[in-house]
Amino acid sequence: MTIADYATALVTGASSGIGADTVRALSARGLETWALARRPERLAELADETGCHTLAADVRDGAGLEAALEGLEIDVLVNSAGVGRGMEGLLSASAEDVAATTETNLGGTLQAIRALAPGMVARRRGHIVNIGSIMGLYPMSAAIYGATKGGIHMLGSTLRLELQGSGVRVSEVSPGRVQSEFFAANLKDPAGAEALNRQNPRWRSARAPWATTPWKPSDCCAGRRPYRSPPGMLVGNRCAASGARLWRPDRARP
């Protein structure tokens, strides 16, 4: 199946970054798109721009999410909701950091799939796209975030087996670093977040330099791929997979 075979889509984490950009791309391709996030004011701005529907909900609240999605027939689910609390390291993270990152990145993805996938199976049509990370495939020193994204990778691999023969596809997008609000929102040192941005001068706003020519992260949903990846996966910015620290303020480039 191609994007033309689908009529509706829902994107979590749609208030900024990859999620918001994906809403723009899917809306532009003619899909009736729902944008789901916790910030209603951001969703309202996105709706004015794209004509999408909005749902203010928290993916960590399974019962609340299920109620918000009741009755929707969604063909394409893009699980983009994610945070990176505790990026500086597990040993310095708080209990709240651990809970927020695991419950949003992995738990929220599971809850959204649980709510919408049964309808896809019943209609024998659907595509689940999980936004992972290169940090879920290669070791870097951000244990909490890496563990949740590693879980997303295994979720996709095992869910494909569960849904085999159902008509529902499962894909994973594993980007490298993408210029967005992510670092400013999750790193505790604003100067460090800014220094990290300076290390990648070729970044574009709402674009991902996963190949030599920057392209939008939502291109995966439009059927465009920068280069070949394992089946069901789109891996980007492979040069970032060095096993080095994600960020060290004392080693940031000037």
Give the SS3 label for residue 240: helix
212 Cβ contact partners less than 8 Å away, ≥ 6 residues apart: none
Spatial CB neighbours of 194, under 8 Å, sequence gap ≥ 6: none
Rounded CA gap, 180 and 172, in Å?
20
CA distance 163 to 21: 28
- CA distances to 67, 157, 204 from 230, in Å: 35, 11, 26
Whether 38 and 14 have beta carbons less than 8 Å apart is answered as no
Which contiguous run of DSSP H or E holds residue 201? none
Cβ atoms within 10 Å, residue 189: 12
* Helix/strand/coil for 53: strand
Chain centroid to CA 197: 19
Q: Given 6, 138, 145, 227, which residue is catalytic?
A: 145
Amino acid in the structure at residue 173: V
Kindly tell me the burial class for residue 76, based on how many C-beta atoms sit within 10 Å of its own C-beta (0-12, 13-18, 19 or more).
Answer: buried
DSSP 53-89: EEEE--TT-HHHHHHHHTT---SEEEE-----TTTT-
| Active site (annotated) includes residue 6 | no
Token pair, residue 126, equals 């659907």
- Residues that are catalytic: 145
